[in-house]
Amino acid sequence: MSDVADAPEAARPITSRRDPRYEVVMYRHVGVDGAWKLDYYRSHGGYEAATKALTQMSPSEVIDEVKASKLRGRGGAGFPTGVKWSFMPPVDGRQRLLVVNADESEPGSFKDRYIMEDDPHQLIEGMIIGCYAIQATKAMIYIRGEYAKGYERLMGAIREARQAGILGKNVLGTDVEVDITVHRGAGAYICGEETALMNSLEGLRGNPRLKPPFPAQAGVYGLPTTINNVTTMTSVVHIITRGAHWFSSMGTDDSKGTKLYQISGPVERPGVYELPMGASFRELIYDLAGGPKGGEAKGFFPGGSSTPPLPWTDEYLDMPMDYGSLAKAGSMLGTGGVIVIPKEKDIVDAMYNVVRFYAHESCGKCTPCREGIATWLPKMYQKLLAGLGTREDLDLMEDMVRNSRGTAFCPLADACAMPVQASFKWFRDEYEYIVDHGKPMYTKNDWWDA
Amino acid sequence: MIELDTVPPFFADKQELVDEILGRYPEVGKRSAVMPLLWEVQNTERHVSEARIVEIAEILGIHPTEVKGVMSFYSEYHGEPVGTYHLQVCSTLSCSLVGSDQLYDYLVEKLGIVNGETDAEGRFSIQKVECLGSCGTGPVLQVNDIYYERVTRSRCDQLLEALKRDEVPEAWRERGGDNVGAEKAEIVDGAAGLGAAGNADTGEGEG
């Protein structure tokens, strides 16, 4: 137990890695050679949380503990996990399913990959606790196809766990049953959207489904299903071990606990960093990642390429990385994947890259997304970059993205439209420059280190 | 359809494997096996031919068009043979900001093929792909299933030379951030520790 748990109720919340009370927990063993083996995991306290949950707590007590911790889903939307679990219908004899979304395909996000490669038992332990809480005996991990190493490590860890009686009919010597199937995707961003993921899991094309019904009512195979992100599951492990109070002693009013942030783009030390929620972008970008290479940046995506970028000002750099602050700033926390945009990268070129991504990944089901985001928008960017754009084109582009908001089954069109809108808001001068001069404001085009 | 008569079936002598794959899913979810079955074929034959699509459809009791419909949805399944070494260059923003566009141009120049093409010997093929989840260690080049991270010009040359000799190097797994092991994570106990936390970059081979 951490001594933080004994801190008085009124103690100041932990919102910085500089706070001596803060401890890295989820990434403690990531990067250690052999940490993916059961022996290693068990000799470092592994499966003690699952044992505690299964032998000392009832399923509803587990749900209450997770609710009390105020954990919000780490996949991007930030829905309270305990509340989501309580949406499962009463036990009625039907198979119940826990599905872990390990599709991790939001550009700028790479936190789950290393957990699955280096510490897969941490995920399995979280899943056992999750299954127990929602009383599901079957769990599935939907892992993106490219993560071949993670797939291999998970399969190995599940084999080990079955042999050791950690998975199967009698989990850890109790009468709880849990087994896990790993389902490998094959390259489709949209399958990270939970209803598309369910279709993909069922052997259909990965098109999104209409909600409602929500997965808890009719999920995979029409069965009651709960879908959680990888690091939501691993957060649960530590909540059970250290208690809800430990978790909620970190963070801000609407965002509690410890979270994995990622930082990419040209910075000195890119990577995944675990921080208490409420830490500032400056702490991540400068103190941990060493700041932009060459010193100058003009903006950043706060939580993956779907989140509206923000300009490089003290106001935004000093903002806490939590759900509420970002919403107030007109952006989103998303997956916490910060992408730094260097000053010399022309915003029109950068946004064309982003738009091209969504164009490639649109499933083609809904007209506004297929025709607007996937067809016309990239063509407009090509026209600008070819030096053929007009001021009217800029208005048309803004009009197009505004009108594609909220018009499709799933959030993919919005995920593209919102950052485009923000790029116009903050960097319109660069759009106007390329139109007026026929060439970009910034022309640097070699970003490869020799 | 001539292919159907001449190519020996893929799954004929693999009943155990088929049963194992079907057994992963509940009875009601037999069709879920379509993706793992496609993977089995592709892992061996590097693409999925029409004949294999028909085979998979027969196993699952669905129409071949349905199998093809699933297959065509995903960018990793190949309907045509790709090279022995299928080079997948991440082209999404984070990698692009550290040089993936130049890496792609360099490969084109070195190999004489562009996105979607396979060379005359069938050794190399190139595909521009979207985010591979290696944003902190870009630019990343995925060769078949293996990630090579932080690919510089000289390391790119090394890799191509090795592949030309049919030597496949171990994955280049780069480290950064908290992804460096327990001791590094422990450093952070105050302001002094902050700068040192994410320094290591061992890039060690796989154990």
* Same structural domain, A309 and A242: no
* Same structural domain, B94 and B35: no
- Taking residues A176-199, report their average pLDDT: 97
Question: Are the beta carbons of A446 and B152 separated by less than 8 Å?
Answer: no
**Is residue A333 very low, low, confident or very high in pLDDT (cuts 50, 70, 90)?**
very high
* Mean pLDDT over each residue of chain B, to the nearest integer: 87
pLDDT tens for A25-50 read 999 999 999 999 999 999 999 999 99
Q: Domain of A402: which CATH number?
A: 1.20.1440.230
Name the residue in chain B with its Cα closest to that of A137.
B26
**Is residue B113 very low, low, confident or very high in pLDDT (cuts 50, 70, 90)?**
very high
Helix-then-strand count for chain A, H and E: 18, 11
- Three-state DSSP at B11 gives coil
Question: Are the beta carbons of B76 and A106 separated by less than 8 Å?
Answer: no
* Same structural domain, A283 and A242: no
In a domain, A51, yes or no: yes
Say whether pLDDT at B203 is over 50. no
Percent of chain A with pLDDT over 70: 98
* Same structural domain, B91 and B159: yes
pLDDT tens for A160-180 read 999 999 999 999 999 999 999
In a domain, B179, yes or no: no
Question: Are the beta carbons of A203 and B98 separated by less than 8 Å?
Answer: no
What is the per-residue pLDDT for A10? Answer: 55
Domain limit, last residue, from B73, B99, B129:
B73
**Is residue A450 very low, low, confident or very high in pLDDT (cuts 50, 70, 90)?**
low
* Mean pLDDT over each residue of chain A, to the nearest integer: 96
pTM over 0.90: yes
* Same structural domain, B58 and B105: no
* Same structural domain, A188 and A276: no
Say whether pLDDT at B145 is over 60. yes
Q: What residues 283-322 of chain A have any CB closer than 8 A to a CB of chain B?
A: 283, 287-290, 301, 305
* Same structural domain, B65 and B106: no
Nearest to A308 by CA among A371, A401, A388: A401
In a domain, B53, yes or no: yes
Do A15 and A282 form a contact (C-beta atoms < 8 A)? no
Question: Are the beta carbons of B198 and A271 separated by less than 8 Å?
Answer: yes
Domain limit, last residue, from A248, A273, A291:
A248
Say whether pLDDT at B162 is over 70. yes
Question: Are the beta carbons of A184 and B39 separated by less than 8 Å?
Answer: yes
* Same structural domain, B22 and B65: yes
CA-CA-CA-CA dihedral for A50, A55, A60, A61, to nearest 10:
-80
What is the per-residue pLDDT for B189? Answer: 37
Domain limit, last residue, from B73, B106, B124:
B73
Counting every residue written for chain A, the total comes to 450
Q: Domain of B128: which CATH number?
A: 3.40.30.10
Do A36 and A117 form a contact (C-beta atoms < 8 A)? yes
CA-CA-CA-CA dihedral for A9, A11, A12, A18, to nearest 10:
-120
- Taking residues A233-244, report their average pLDDT: 98
What is the per-residue pLDDT for A9? Answer: 52
Question: Are the beta carbons of A184 and B36 separated by less than 8 Å?
Answer: yes
Domain limit, last residue, from B73, B95, B115:
B73
Do B151 and B139 form a contact (C-beta atoms < 8 A)? yes
- Taking residues B12-39, report their average pLDDT: 96
Tell me which of B101, B115, B135 to substitute to probe the interface with A (most A C-beta atoms closer than 10 Å): B135
Tell me which of B43, B92, B141, B184 to substitute to probe the interface with A (most A C-beta atoms closer than 10 Å): B92
Strand B146-148 with A297-301, pairing: unpaired
For residues A440 and A447, give the distance between their C-alpha atoms in angstroms, rounded to a whole number.
16
pLDDT tens for A7-23 read 555 589 999 999 999 99
* Same structural domain, A234 and A135: yes
Q: Is A189 on the interface with B (CB under 8 A)?
A: yes
* Same structural domain, B97 and B140: yes
What domain range is A417 assigned to? 347-437
Question: Are the beta carbons of A450 and B190 separated by less than 8 Å?
Answer: no
* Same structural domain, A61 and A131: yes
Of A28, A221, A340, the CB nearest to B26: A221
What is the per-residue pLDDT for B201? Answer: 36
* Omega prior to A80 cis, within 30 of 0: no
* Same structural domain, A280 and A142: no
What is the per-residue pLDDT for B158? Answer: 97
Q: Is A344 on the interface with B (CB under 8 A)?
A: no
Say whether pLDDT at A421 is over 60. yes
Task: Name every chain B residue with its beta carbon within 8 A of the beta carbon of A264.
Answer: 94, 97, 135-136, 138
DSSP string, A279-343: -BHHIIIIIIT--BTTS-EEEEESSSTTSPPEESSHHHHTSBSSHHHHHHTT---TT-EEEEEET
Say whether pLDDT at A6 is over 60. no
pLDDT tens for A252-283 read 999 999 999 999 999 999 999 999 999 999 99
* Same structural domain, A215 and A284: no
Say whether pLDDT at B137 is over 90. yes
* Same structural domain, B105 and B146: yes
Tell me which of A223, A269, A343 to substitute to probe the interface with B (most B C-beta atoms closer than 10 Å): A269
Domain limit, last residue, from A342, A362, A389:
A342
Complex ipTM tops 0.90: yes
Task: Name every chain A residue with its beta carbon within 8 A of the beta carbon of B74.
Answer: 145, 185-188, 206
What is the per-residue pLDDT for B176? Answer: 86
DSSP string, B18-59: HHHHHHTS-GGGGGGGHHHHHHHHHHHHSS--HHHHHHHHHH
What domain range is B40 assigned to? 2-73
Total of domains in chain A: 3
For residues A442 and A344, give the distance between their C-alpha atoms in angstroms, rounded to a whole number.
6
Tell me which of B131, B141, B158 to substitute to probe the interface with A (most A C-beta atoms closer than 10 Å): B131
In a domain, A449, yes or no: no
* Same structural domain, B92 and B133: yes
Question: Are the beta carbons of B99 and A114 separated by less than 8 Å?
Answer: no
Question: Are the beta carbons of B75 and A108 separated by less than 8 Å?
Answer: no
Total of domains in chain B: 2
Domain limit, last residue, from A317, A342, A367:
A342
Say whether pLDDT at A424 is over 80. yes
Q: Is A119 on the interface with B (CB under 8 A)?
A: no
Q: Is A37 on the interface with B (CB under 8 A)?
A: no
